[in-house]
Amino acid sequence: MIPITEVWVDGRIVPREEGVLPVMTHALHYAGAVYEGIRAYDGVPFELQRHAERLAASAAHLRFKLPLSVELICEETRDYLGVMSRGVVSAIRS
């Protein structure tokens, strides 16, 4: 398993120690969140567009407003994988 040394938080890639959530975060208290698991092979995300569209659809279903467009989700995911692809990233959560 490849150690995760950086995380993506609020549009920035930061050391994992800086990737913290406020203790009163709604998602932690009420499970108010959506996520999508995406496999990546040799740093290339599998079906990224479809995953991003499904994430957006899940958010819309729960009436969450995503701060990113589907296109920006794809772009940011690729940027993150570029940083983390020192080996093979097996999965990411968005």
Answer whether residue 60 shows pLDDT above 70.
yes
- Within-domain flag for 92: yes
Q: CB–CB of 26/65 below 8 Å?
A: no
| 86 exposure class (CB count in 10 Å sphere: 0-12, 13-18, 19+) | exposed
**Confidence band for 49, pLDDT divided at 50, 70 and 90:** very high
Q: What is the pTM (predicted TM-score) of this model?
A: 0.77
- Within-domain flag for 91: yes
- Within-domain flag for 4: no
- Within-domain flag for 69: yes
* Structural domain containing residue 51: 37-94
Tell me the C-alpha distance between 1 and 89, whole Å. Answer: 9
**Tally of structural domains, the chain:** 1
Answer whether residue 89 shows pLDDT above 60.
no
Q: What is the overall mean pLDDT for the chain?
A: 84
**Confidence band for 70, pLDDT divided at 50, 70 and 90:** very high
- Within-domain flag for 2: no
- Within-domain flag for 27: no
